[in-house]
Amino acid sequence: MSVPSNDTVHPKPVTEIDAKRWLDVDFPGLEFGVAEYAEGPTGCTVFHFPQVASLHIDVRGGSPGINGEHLTLTNAICFAGGSLYGLEASTGVAAELFEKRGYSTPWMDIALVQGAIIFDYGRRENAIYPDKELGRSAVRALRPGRFPLGPHGAGCSATAGHGATAELSGQGGATRQVGATRLALFTVVNAYGAIVDRAGNVVRGNRDAQTGKRRRAEDVVAQTGAYDPPPLRARGPTPNTNLTLLATDQKLDPLQLRSVARQVHSSMARAIQPFNTRWDGDVLFAVSTQQVENAVLDEVSLGVVASEIAWDAVLASFDP
């Protein structure tokens, strides 16, 4: 019996997202496009910057899947499920932007697109992945202002925790304004570790099926002697990788943008424990639209605020 795939099922893109929760986003120069295959379920989430923006990519963990990593500028970033096959969605984003630009081919007219993926096959018995058509559909659905939270887009089948203790998570977001500077952070949490709140409680993942209680990583190790690392090439509910976009309109030079990216990505270890493991392919994209001068807010202070927003975004990634 063949496994259901894009070739046999021919899934239909869905861009009218029925989310329980939405984040209102006031960030000029940023649009969102979300497209899903309910047959997976799986999907992709596209962040579009119509005016080219500065970029730094911070890659951590042992299993990243990414394209366009060499670029320092961006027009669009595509998060997708489907493991490495899902990188095809980002080629669809590029193709649709190519069409929207009238197939113009001068050097400066080429759309700059990055993609990153999560492994989201653990909770579903099919091989459906976000393909080129789904990426194109997400671009056609681009809108400013509202971002769906929870198990949608690239987060359709994302989980927190691993093995039998994993729980459905999704994509989260949070925003803040400090003086003239806008900050927005979006993340798809598909973590080997569990989600931890500011009181130190595990709120998603590491859930004991018998007791219903969630355990901290150190308690799991203390009680069992190991944090249950998955075998290589494992099938089963062990999908991992956390994808994050930090966007600001504050002017930052390349060194400052890299510094903020590292600071914020490191801070996410407070919200996801353990973080950056061998089984994760964590990637953070730091983007500046370079629109606002704010000499009062130095890069470290900006990173402090963005780090708190990152924690908020992680906590917003799953439906209660």
Which residues are identified as catalytic?
Answer: 241
Burial tier of 106 (Cβ tally within 10 Å: 0-12, 13-18, 19+) = exposed
State which amino acid sits at residue 229.
P
